[in-house]
Structure 1
Amino acid sequence: MTFILRLFAFSFLMVSGYVSAVGDEDYLPRDTRFNPNITSPTEALGAEVGEWHVRHDQLANYMQLLAAQSDRVSIVETGRTHENRPLYLLAFSSPENQKNLAAIQAKHINNLGKSASADDPLILWMGYSVHGNEASGSNAALLVAYYLAAGESQKIDELLNNNLVLLDPSLNPDGLSRFAQWANMHRGNTLVADPQHREHKEAWPSGRTNHYWFDLNRDWLLLTHPESRARIAQFHQWRPHVLTDFHEMGSNSTYFFQPGIPSRKNPWTPRKNVELTTKLGNFHAAALDKTKQLYFSGESYDDFYYGKGSTYPDSIGSIGILFEQASSRGHVQDTVNGELRFSDTIQNQVTTTLSTFEGALANKKALLDYQVEFVQQTNDLIKDDDLAGYILQEKLDKTRFAKMLSIFKAHKIEYWPLSKNTKVDNQTFEAQSSVFVPLDQAQYRLIKSIFSTRKSFDDNTFYDVSNWNLPLAFNIQYTPVSRAPKVNKQSQSTSQAILPELQSSAYAYAFSWDDYNAPKLLQRLLASNIKVKVAGDAFFAKTSQGGMSFSAGAVIVPTALAQPDNLVAILEAQSVDLGISVHSISSGLTTQGIDIGSRKMLNVSQPKVLLVGGKGTSQYEVGEVWHYLDQHLDMPVSVTDMNELQTLNLENYTHMIWVQGSYKNVADRISQNLDTWLRNGGVLIGQKSAVAWFSNNNWLKVSVKTESDVQSAFATDHLSYKDKDSLAAKQRVAGAVYETQLDLSHPLAFGFHSETLPVFRNSAIVLRKPVKPFITAAFHPQTSLMAGYTAQEIQEQISGSAAVVAHNVGKGKVIAFANNVNFRGVWYGTSRLMSNAIFMAPFIKAQG
């Protein structure tokens, strides 16, 4: 009878598709004992690791518990996410080292670049799941933390007595929580491995991204988000010897560890970095061989963009290492390599975490020496460089300039205000609005990369962008110099303007449209029910400070209109908060230009913006627009799924924004509703592929070359099969900077003062320049590539094409951007085009 019952039980498990749970100690080395006084992950969760996807609150609570129970662990909250989840960094070392953690940290930082001693500790930073739906990393972090806090073995003693392990258990708590909810809510008692099961097909937006649907693995350099800023601050306090970055990839793959393709490393990364990564890779291979796992290395992934977790450390002298595990995207999934269980994916991440420890200890001397060699070689590069550094200047927009400099500061890049006006090649850089970034400093390689305008590389195949020049992204005037100018080393700040005192008896109040925060100030005034006008042309007015010029786009608050009783108090508070000068105008009669009561002074009303997202649209680009409007304009924006437009009352909205997406199958009813709304006065804004859809619907009077049209310009005669990947690499624009020429008189250019505007391109969509006058706000000149790689065939297609087009459609307006003006939240130079499209659209009066 017992045999029959056991047979029945076995048969039931097989039929139900149940996957047996894996105990904590099954994931970890067999020769390890564990302190019974320290809670295991299973005890804390009430379930085996991998049985359910761990939520971030469970993960965070367990890390706090370990810190309370084990004298090998210390924990610090480094920051908070957009959704107010805590970011934790744990330090594991021996109890004795824990008592002297601050001293160990200080000694390491002070000793950077000096001779290394065999007694110096290795600092190993283990980072998990920057993409929230690549959850095996964060689930593995539970087990790694338990192993380091409670494990008892000779290997653990060797690791912790003389070294330090930093553990970042979740780089993206918001995304991890979103995905855990998705995977767990679709988990049945009977697991389903079918890839088409809803559990394995996330809804839009995916858990890969953070709160605003950004890819945090592209944000290490740009620091758009609090998660990245918190992490970089800790990174520079510790400067680890090795930093690991645990990811997942497609379910039908296997396991990847770096090095990737050697020819696709960043030019500023030393060859020794690749050699050490390879040495550590031998330990990963040996560990995976023992468990008979399939894997690959030295192919597919690159180490080029310094804004990724596995690559940013390379610019500073650390060894960054990427791991990619085939994803179960749930609890179990059928793949070309057989059934892939979530526990399998966790196991591999644990295995390569431990092989990282083993490889690092075996190569400890080489890793310690490398940081010394890195500094010495950097100093040699500085001596051999013909340049002394870069002078940067921004006269009118203090906010935009300060934001870029804050990124420099976060990366420990030194800069100094000029002590006097400096002339370089007929350009005068004024002391009060300029800084000098010297190359003779520790972050030399990162600085060279940030200012790079390189257009061709040893291998022109890119996994991500090929350029990230920050002054171009911020549209900051700069020039390289061979001799260092005189600087003021007493301060890292340029001079701050003194805000004028407002006069309660003023005829009107006004502020210019020059500062990056001007749209935010306008939005706040509208939200406070203040009546506002915008100048469609320049004027020279009498103010309490004397005569003053205002350019087109200036914002006017006339006291003749019905204004709140506390108008002056609101203006003063917002002026101080945003650092924008608001001026008191004493008369409606100007000495030059339009008068305050001119018909070119248009009333501005509160915009009601609808942002189209959902399945078929790019979650990244929708998130970038949402982030810009929410964070930089304080503007409420309604985000709706595309399919909801069939029943939505569009009359409730003044503006509608469409981004990159697939719009071939948009329902006819949506197009018809949109056509009616547009012709009745709506403002339709689109970028990239949305622009092609606008053109196909005859709203935009511009001919559009799609990516496939552009790709057809490549000759394919005499190509063999081996050339397939190379051709594909040439046919894409993998993130490059292009020059545009702005029509400064156009309403979309209000607030800009240079005809040259760098833009970011990561698509091959081309707008043919319209023949009709007045509708092209910006175009690409004949030679327009400024930085980054693009094949000559595509450059020729882009040359002379339109970048920004706008015209009337009935009573409405259509505005088209060929490029993504909010790319990764860091293109401050072009994101102002989006606020102009919203606020300055009433001035657009040109027929397409």
Structure 2
Amino acid sequence: MNLMLRLFAYFFLVISHYGFAVSDSAYLPRDTEYNPNITSPTQALGAEVGEWHVRHDQLANYMQLLAAQSDRVSIVETGRTHENRPLFLLAFSSPDNQKNLAAIQAKHMKNLGKSANENDPLILWMGYSVHGNEASGSNAALLVAYYLAAGESQKIDDLLNNNVVLLDPSLNPDGLSRFAQWANMHKGKTLVSDPQNREHQEAWPSARTNHYWFDLNRDWLLLTHPESRARITQFHQWRPHVLTDFHEMGSNSTYFFQPGIPSRKSPWTPRKNVELTAKLGDFHAAALDNTQQFYFSGESYDDFYYGKGSTYPDAHGSIGILFEQASSRGHVQDTVNGELSFSDTIQNQVTTSLSTFEGALANKKALLDYQIEFVEQTNDLVKDDDLAGYLLQEKLDNTRLNKMLSILAAHKIEYWPLARNTKVDEQTFEAQHSYFVPLNQPQYRLIKSLFSTRKSFDDNTFYDVSNWNLPLAFNIQYVEVERVPRINKQSASASQAILPKLQSSAYAYAFSWDDYNAPKLLQRLLANNVKVKVAGAAFFAKTDQGGTSFSAGAVIVPMALKQPDNVMTIIEQQKAGLGISVHSIVSGLTTQGIDLGSRKMLNIRQPKVLLIGGKGTSQYEVGEVWHYLDQYVDMPVTITDVYELDSFNLEPYTHMIWVQGAYNNLSDGVTLNIDTWLRKGGVLIGQKSAATWFSNKNWLQVAVKSASEINSAFATDDLTYKDKENLSAKQRIAGAVFEAQLDLSHPLAFGYHTKTLPTFRNSTLVFRQPAKPFISVASYPQTPLMAGYTAQEIQNQIGGSAAVVAHNVGKGKVIAFANNVNFRGVWYGTSRLLTNAIFMSQFIDSQG
């Protein structure tokens, strides 16, 4: 034990003698004694668990303290959050096992899917509070960790002597800390249970989310955030038999544990998974019966989308289990089931944590056998599949392709570059830009899910998205192949292009708009006072390396403009690590297309973007825009609450972005200010319901179909009351992929080179086609659905409608998207539309 940990442990042992409560026995089994040399949660906190909401720093400090005091515990820091909070994973096992933990882990991974015996360890992963305001999980983690580290009973010996319990005490530290601050700052000496009390009405944005206001429980597959990347790395180093995911739900509910609705599982998850989940569920039911708690199972929740904590394990032969506790959303709240205290919610999470241990040990042989059976069945599925795998290709945007490949690699999905050009269905896949993803590998089931274009399902009700096709999200060309092509197994890494060196004698410097990092480089140059032009049409320029073609949208740094003295150094520094070729142009006269002095070369000034958030707007969509512009464009964004606009000065801002929200109650003064700003030259950008509001204010000259018009397409004459839920499911889009057709000549399509653009839709908003020409940037074909479920009645409404529209309003521009172009931070294929709306808006010249 190092000196700091010794001092840390001594501090907590000393303060326990100064009048603090020391007993946590009310939450834990009565037949268990505890090692007095190990600090209890109450001793560490100076208050009973549940008296206050634990902050992440308190939680992390206690977990480190247990690791210092108990020889049953080891701890690793797996990563850091956006707000630089540490992410910890604890491993609990017997002292002898702790001495050989690395060997136990290595043996488990080596034997994965092979013959098992009763001496093989179960690996049980306990995960708590991926949503920060569902705090009972992380507070329960304090007690579960103490039970495992200090408890003395035969049950604990049986659990730890031949098994390993992994504990992730907080999957969302930033959100947990935000919520603890909120709940604690509103707690009085006399608790207030009124649901309308401010304590129970959390401010926008809610602490459900992480730093960028994302739902981390949807990120297990997408790996947009460091919390998820750290967790998935550990998951694949341990491959647990059981993984638990502790949540909260509405206060007026009770307690839920899986299995959910059996028909709503992923088609790639074996039925045996549901059966084992149900067997473990018997132990949860018995434990909750013993404490006379309400609960339910086998209903409401689905297990379809592999990107959630309780479903990702199902793709790997693990048993993922979701727990949902009715939330006190503070310290105590009145509900339809009576008064619900925070300690009550913690108790139930502790109870089912312990019943998970009991159920797993009772079903140990079945769980060990299941991982073997899972592998055997996967091998059979591979043999029976007519496909050999998938070919991927992206010629012009290495950043976008490499990012998708990095996600595959993080999920232990193998891919290989082609050894030679390969032709499939009249398409040539060039070896330099193409990769093969074979199906004959352990991750077969996950791959089938990631490349699925399935459109029909036995049960059409989805709690979350109905499709997650990764190549469609990244707009990567791909095809199914029935035979394995020639591949280069010497290297699976993406090829690295040799970038040209800048020449000090250049007439101008230029780079294309094709790469995903191009907006970031443009923003960096503008931020460093470099004068920049953007090409409104294609040209073929003379460079120091010969002739080079540039498509519309290319960025030019002309030396004819007054540039900083060290402009070449600035360009070199700002392009570092971006993988973008910056060419040295030797003449302003081009051999084809526009010249560098053309009127179609427009000066671009640094944008100043205002993002509208606050109560009434979607925290997820605001966060997605912020995350994209901050992380991928290096663009500072001013965020303001929508109801601050009454007194807000819009004049400094060049662009204003609005997302899904409720805006009809904004004052006439606000709309007048926006109208004036817009007509003077502002660029107004909106998506989904914001676009509807734009239309209602006559800024957007596009009509939007009403919800009643869309719902009227569904026949209801012969329906009975039991059909109500099914009709509701059909009248929404939980999440599906739709094809849009781009007008490649439009400025908002600069950087795109194929007309077909997969878009993600999770709303039924429909733009009518504009009456005037040149306004539609992208439209949906008559049969637009590419993947996932959407009722035919809604498909018919969307078919032929507009997807992206843009036109002038006075000296300004209005741009509208029917869908969310930044969905969950991973829809790379459409997020470039947003940067085009920012940087290329000057080129728009069509009257609404």
Q: Which residue of 1 aligns with 2:622?
A: 622
Tell me by how many angstroms 1:771 deviates.
2.1
Letter in 2 for 1:830: T
Q: For each residue in 1:610-665, what CA deviation from the matched residue of structure 2 results, as whole angstroms up to 9, or x when unmatched?
A: 00000000000000000000000000000000011111110010000000011121
Q: Which residue of 2 aligns with 1:669?
A: 669
Q: Which residue of 1 aligns with 2:724?
A: 724
SS in 1 for 2:42: helix
Q: Which residue of 2 aligns with 1:697?
A: 697
SS in 1 for 2:577: helix
Q: Is the 8 A contact 1:805 1:815 kept in 2?
A: yes
Instruction: Give matches, 1:245-260, under 5 Å.
Output: 245-260=245-260
Structure 1 unmatched runs, 5+:
1-20
Aligned equivalents of 2:304 and 2:80: distance in 1? 29
SS in 2 for 1:272: helix
Aligned equivalents of 1:224 and 1:589: distance in 2? 44
> Is 1:391–2:391 an aligned residue pair?
yes
Tell me by how many angstroms 1:569 deviates.
1.2
Q: Which residue of 2 aligns with 1:799?
A: 799
Q: Which residue of 1 aligns with 2:679?
A: 679
Aligned equivalents of 2:661 and 2:116: distance in 1? 52
Q: Which residue of 2 aligns with 1:768?
A: 768
SS in 1 for 2:404: helix
Aligned equivalents of 1:361 and 1:536: distance in 2? 67
Instruction: Give matches, 1:127-526, under 5 Å.
Output: 127-526=127-526
Aligned equivalents of 1:77 and 1:796: distance in 2? 51
> Is 1:557–2:566 an aligned residue pair?
no
Count of residue pairs brought into register by the alignment: 829
SS in 2 for 1:652: coil
Aligned equivalents of 2:818 and 2:377: distance in 1? 42
Tell me by how many angstroms 1:23 deviates.
4.5
SS in 2 for 1:279: helix
Q: Is the 8 A contact 2:703 2:767 kept in 1?
A: yes
Aligned equivalents of 1:680 and 1:264: distance in 2? 52
Q: Is the 8 A contact 1:540 1:590 kept in 2?
A: yes
Q: Is the 8 A contact 1:434 1:494 kept in 2?
A: no
SS in 1 for 2:25: helix
Q: Is the 8 A contact 1:22 1:50 kept in 2?
A: no
Aligned equivalents of 1:667 and 1:117: distance in 2? 70
SS in 2 for 1:549: strand
Q: Which residue of 1 aligns with 2:745?
A: 745
> Is 1:733–2:724 an aligned residue pair?
no
Aligned equivalents of 1:321 and 1:39: distance in 2? 30
Tell me by how many angstroms 1:710 deviates.
1.4
Q: Is the 8 A contact 1:255 1:325 kept in 2?
A: yes
SS in 1 for 2:626: helix
Q: Which residue of 2 aligns with 1:17?
A: none
Letter in 2 for 1:405: L
Q: Is the 8 A contact 1:263 1:459 kept in 2?
A: yes
Higher deviation after alignment, 376-385 or 715-724: 715-724
> Is 1:531–2:534 an aligned residue pair?
no
Aligned equivalents of 2:655 and 2:601: distance in 1? 21
Q: For each residue in 1:116-145, what CA deviation from the matched residue of structure 2 results, as whole angstroms up to 9, or x when unmatched?
A: 111000000000000000000000000000
Tell me by how many angstroms 1:494 deviates.
2.8
Tell me by how many angstroms 1:575 deviates.
2.6
Aligned equivalents of 1:27 and 1:632: distance in 2? 46
TM-score computed with the length of structure 2 as normaliser: 0.97
Aligned equivalents of 2:741 and 2:187: distance in 1? 54
Aligned equivalents of 2:486 and 2:786: distance in 1? 29
Aligned equivalents of 2:713 and 2:656: distance in 1? 34
SS in 1 for 2:596: coil
Q: Which residue of 2 aligns with 1:546?
A: 546
Tell me by how many angstroms 1:709 deviates.
3.0
Instruction: Give matches, 1:102-121, under 5 Å.
Output: 102-121=102-121
Letter in 1 for 2:130: V
Q: For each residue in 1:565-616, what CA deviation from the matched residue of structure 2 results, as whole angstroms up to 9, or x when unmatched?
A: 1111121222332110000000001111110011100000010000000000
Q: Which residue of 2 aligns with 1:5?
A: none
> Is 1:48–2:48 an aligned residue pair?
yes
Q: Is the 8 A contact 1:22 1:49 kept in 2?
A: no
Letter in 1 for 2:79: G
Letter in 1 for 2:409: K
Aligned equivalents of 2:328 and 2:77: distance in 1? 30
Q: Is the 8 A contact 2:22 2:40 kept in 1?
A: no
Aligned equivalents of 2:578 and 2:28: distance in 1? 53
SS in 1 for 2:193: coil
Letter in 2 for 1:475: N
Letter in 1 for 2:761: R
Aligned equivalents of 1:577 and 1:276: distance in 2? 48
Q: Is the 8 A contact 2:466 2:735 kept in 1?
A: yes
Tell me by how many angstroms 1:493 deviates.
1.7
Aligned equivalents of 1:297 and 1:732: distance in 2? 25
Instruction: Give matches, 1:58-73, under 5 Å.
Output: 58-73=58-73
Q: Which residue of 1 aligns with 2:812?
A: 812
SS in 2 for 1:767: coil
SS in 1 for 2:657: strand
Q: Is the 8 A contact 1:534 1:554 kept in 2?
A: yes
Q: Is the 8 A contact 1:738 1:760 kept in 2?
A: yes
Q: For each residue in 1:680-739, what CA deviation from the matched residue of structure 2 results, as whole angstroms up to 9, or x when unmatched?
A: 100000000000000000000000014343122211112111111000000000100000
Aligned equivalents of 1:450 and 1:149: distance in 2? 40
SS in 2 for 1:194: coil
Instruction: Give matches, 1:568-583, under 5 Å.
Output: 568-583=568-583
SS in 2 for 1:123: strand
Q: Which residue of 1 aligns with 2:25?
A: 25
Aligned equivalents of 1:618 and 1:321: distance in 2? 28
> Is 1:647–2:647 an aligned residue pair?
yes
Aligned equivalents of 2:712 and 2:57: distance in 1? 51
Q: Is the 8 A contact 1:499 1:576 kept in 2?
A: no
Tell me by how many angstroms 1:22 deviates.
11
TM-score computed with the length of structure 1 as normaliser: 0.97
Aligned equivalents of 2:578 and 2:290: distance in 1? 60
The 3 A distance-change label for structure 1 pair 22 and 789 is farther
Aligned equivalents of 1:706 and 1:655: distance in 2? 28
Letter in 2 for 1:833: L
SS in 2 for 1:25: coil
Q: Which residue of 2 aligns with 1:81?
A: 81
Q: Which residue of 2 aligns with 1:18?
A: none
SS in 2 for 1:612: strand
SS in 2 for 1:442: coil
Letter in 2 for 1:161: N
Q: Which residue of 1 aligns with 2:6?
A: none
SS in 1 for 2:502: coil
Q: For each residue in 1:732-761, what CA deviation from the matched residue of structure 2 results, as whole angstroms up to 9, or x when unmatched?
A: 001000000000000000000000000000
Q: For each residue in 1:533-575, what CA deviation from the matched residue of structure 2 results, as whole angstroms up to 9, or x when unmatched?
A: 0000000100001011100000000011111111111212223
The 3 A distance-change label for structure 1 pair 166 and 708 is farther
Higher deviation after alignment, 710-719 or 370-379: 710-719
Aligned equivalents of 1:724 and 1:77: distance in 2? 49
Aligned equivalents of 2:490 and 2:731: distance in 1? 50
Aligned equivalents of 2:242 and 2:707: distance in 1? 40
Q: Is the 8 A contact 1:533 1:557 kept in 2?
A: yes
Q: Is the 8 A contact 1:706 1:764 kept in 2?
A: no
Tell me by how many angstroms 1:788 deviates.
0.1
Q: For each residue in 1:215-262, what CA deviation from the matched residue of structure 2 results, as whole angstroms up to 9, or x when unmatched?
A: 000000000000000000000000000000000000000000000000
